[in-house]
Amino acid sequence: MTSSETVPLKGGAMEDPRLKGYRAFVYFMTFVAYAMSHFSRKSYTNVKKQMKTDAGMTTELFSRMDTGFMFAYAIGSFFSGQLGDRLRPTTVVAAGLIGSAACVMALVFGLWGDVVHENPIWANTYFLSAWLLHGLFQSTGGPVNTAIMGAWFDSKNRGLVFGTWTCHQYMGNIIAAITATAILAQGFAYWWVLVISAVANLAWGVFLLMALPSRPAEVGIEFGDAPKVAVGEVVNKDTKQLPPISFVQAFQIPAVAMYALAFGFFKLVNYVLFFWLPFFLTRTFTPSQSNVISTLYDVGMMPGGIIVGYVSDLYGGRRACVIVTFLLLLCPLLYVFSQYSDVIPVYALLVLLGFMGILVGGPNNIISSAVAADLADHPSIQGNNRAIGTVTGIINGSGSVTAAIGLLFIGDIQAAWGWSAVWYLLILSTLLGCSLLAKTVYR
């Protein structure tokens, strides 16, 4: 690249004019990739009622599948983050989407074969195994997509960029809810919801593999600390790059451990609502109405990430302060929901769920993206640009372990003490997570 092919920036730095276009393309491709991942997850939660009544599946089996998914997701996050920093990230993400499609179709085959009624004991093992594998494949989405984004976007306006980008998961949830509502309202078999999500994951995984450059160096663009290589050359062969960091090095970065522990409590709140809200609402509404109403929670989560990201940028990247403020505001809303969700007017319920989505989504979005990228920029790792996947994987993985342990007991808690006990557990989890970030907020 000659100097005539660059444009001047402040301080005399030069930027490749193609960078802006590639950034938009990478943003779009990874956004849709993560949305497809959540499309398949949420499609399953949206047809739980039908799987219980038509296929004979129990709430206890759902609880085990949810917990197994989260444990597999947690374990997978640690290793997929490392894979994303060591292998070509695009290949890892594409493999995750294609594998997710296969696991969802395995679930569909089990439903078609009526295995619950034919052999209940084997059915539990079959469905749980399929969903454990699904969790492993899904774990590639967060750490590795974040690593790709971190390779293309520097720290400038990182909160806002990642805040808008993390709307991907909620867009996937909304697409799943709309798809489920349309299919059920038209009288089609509920399993079509799962089939459509599997096909979408497969198609995007193949497209991603063919089209998405993992890092600027792959297309001959100089950006950050990454040196330029020839187009098509495998960037991992570039010996000038620092080697990926280890788990030990990542945990030694200040605040990584605290964020990892706190994120677990916040993620439990998010995933209980994610997995159980549509099912909970069927006490009062039809399955189609429950899917539409629960979508307001997902809609609220999208501006939440943007608001937290933008405000934390304004205050010099002090993201912990904004995160804790949002989550403390969530606690009284969870209490109102626990006491009055059965009698509250439907329009007030929609507003309440929207606000809850904002207060949950903002912190969760930013911790798993902008905060992880900030931590990976710490001076202790000497500007290593192949650390984001590992740091994000640790935060996501640790968070998922805590969430998985909590999800293991949700079905039993609900059966023994009712739904109010579930919502009280979420309030306690929120307060515990905030207490873990107190030192960071004070500093």
Q: Which residues are within 8 A (CB) of 12 and not within 5 positions of it... i.e. 6 or more apart?
A: none
Q: At what angle do helices 256-281 and 346-366 cross, to 10 degrees?
A: 160
Q: CA 285 → CA 141, 276, 281, 298, distances in Å?
A: 33, 14, 6, 18
27 pLDDT band, cuts 50/70/90, is very high
pLDDT given for residue 250 in this prediction: 65
* Coil, helix or strand at residue 417: helix
Res 238 pLDDT > 60: no
Average pLDDT over residues 140-157: 79
Under 8 Å between Cβ of 309 and 365: yes
231 pLDDT band, cuts 50/70/90, is very low
In Å, how far from its chain's centre is CA 298? Answer: 12
Average pLDDT over residues 74-98: 85
pLDDT given for residue 387 in this prediction: 66
d(CA 362, CA 425): 20
Q: Which of 5-9, 47-51, 283-287 has the lowest mean pLDDT?
A: 5-9
Under 8 Å between Cβ of 258 and 434: no
pLDDT given for residue 102 in this prediction: 94
* Coil, helix or strand at residue 153: coil
pLDDT given for residue 223 in this prediction: 61
Tokens linked to 142 = 């967060």
- The model scores a pTM over 0.85: no
Q: What is the pLDDT of residues 150-201, one digit of tens each?
A: 778 766 666 778 778 878 877 888 888 889 888 988 888 888 999 999 999 9
pLDDT given for residue 14 in this prediction: 57
Torsion of CA 104, 105, 110, 111, to 10 degrees: 80
Res 402 pLDDT > 50: yes
d(CA 406, CA 421): 13
Q: Burial code of 237-252, b = ≥16 C-beta within 10 A, e = fewer?
A: eeeebeebbeeebbee
d(CA 252, CA 257): 8
Average pLDDT over residues 248-267: 75
d(CA 302, CA 326): 14
97 pLDDT band, cuts 50/70/90, is very high
d(CA 192, CA 203): 16
pLDDT given for residue 289 in this prediction: 76
Domain boundaries in the chain?
A: 13-442
pLDDT given for residue 408 in this prediction: 75
198, amino acid identity: A
Domain covering 13-442, topology:
Growth Hormone; Chain: A; (1.20.1250)
239 pLDDT band, cuts 50/70/90, is very low
Question: Within 10 A of 286 (CB to CB), how many other CB atoms are there?
Answer: 13
d(CA 440, CA 66): 32
Question: Within 10 A of 73 (CB to CB), how many other CB atoms are there?
Answer: 29
Mean pLDDT for the chain? 78
Res 348 pLDDT > 60: yes
Tokens linked to 293 = 């109403």
* Coil, helix or strand at residue 89: helix
Q: Burial code of 17-34, b = ≥16 C-beta within 10 A, e = fewer?
A: eebeebbeebbebbbbbb
pLDDT given for residue 401 in this prediction: 81
pLDDT given for residue 361 in this prediction: 82
pLDDT given for residue 216 in this prediction: 82
Q: CA 233 → CA 17, 22, 56, 229, 424, distances in Å?
A: 21, 17, 52, 7, 54
Under 8 Å between Cβ of 278 and 294: yes
Q: Which of 35-44, 299-308, 348-357 has the lowest mean pLDDT?
A: 299-308
Q: Which residue has the higher pLDDT, 310 or 94?
A: 94
